[in-house]
Amino acid sequence: MRDPIDTHASFWPQVIVQESRGERVYDLPSRLLRERIIFITGGIDDAVSASVCMQLLFLEADNPKKEISIYINSPGGVVTAGLAIYDTMQFIRPAISTTVIGQAASMGSLLLAAGDKDMRFSLPNARIMVHQPSGGYQGQVTDILIHAKEVESLKRRLNEIYERHTGRGYKEIEVALERDNFMTAEMAKDFGIIDKIMDKRAVPSDSK
């Protein structure tokens, strides 16, 4: 999997911002980062994970009391890369809202569920998918058994994380993740992965 920053950078428009010292040109992700918005798009690999973790740590250093918003449109990816993002989300001090646009599958759904309580959202037509981790290994029988035990250990850990953030029992999580389990936004809300379905951005109370 390639880092979507490398893959899609040529398609991102640049924006001109009027600042005290004149105009400044930003690429769109950098401009959104100024607003404390992070995008997780495409497959989650080590490069994507490093980028997201660095952005989270930067925003915490910038203001540890101000909310961070993460938008997710991802089919999932490498479990350890996703867990690095998850652990960083839990580690830093700012509250984090998560919103799925398009899809949040596999590790994408876990990161969606990992937002702060009552701050996990889905747009109406987004799809969410949960399942158990998969793995493949070739080699000597002993090595295959070692890797099988590691996948089983990761499966238990992921189940525990979903249990923590959805409020569902461990056995129920285990059954739900046994096979690819696709959900609508409504189903994901009932399951406890998200808190609210948003079709319109809330209008500030001071708006006329």
Report DSSP letters for 132-187, one per residue. Answer: -------S-HHHHHHHHHHHHHHHHHHHHHHHHHH---HHHHHHHTSS-EEE-HHH
| Interval 22-31: pLDDT, tens | 777 778 888 8
Query: Domain extents for the chain?
Result: 36-196
Q: What is the tens place of the pLDDT at every residue in 131-150?
A: 998 766 667 888 778 888 88
Angle at 194 between CA 130 and CA 109, to 5 degrees: 30
Integer Cα distance of 99 and 172 in angstroms: 24
Say whether 31 sits in a helix, a strand or coil: helix
Fold held by 36-196: 2-enoyl-CoA Hydratase; Chain A, domain 1 (3.90.226)
- Please state, in angstroms and rounded to a whole number, the distance separating the CA atoms of residues 148 and 6: 33
Express the helix, strand and coil content of the chain in percent, nearest 5 each. Answer: 45, 25, 35
Q: How far apart are CA 17 and CA 25, in angstroms?
A: 6
Residue 132 amino acid letter:
Q
pLDDT at 94: 98
pLDDT tens-place string over residues 169-187:
999 999 999 999 999 999 9
Q: What is the pTM of this model?
A: 0.87
Residues annotated catalytic, as ranges: 106, 131
CA-CA distance, 18 to 25, in Å (whole number)? 9
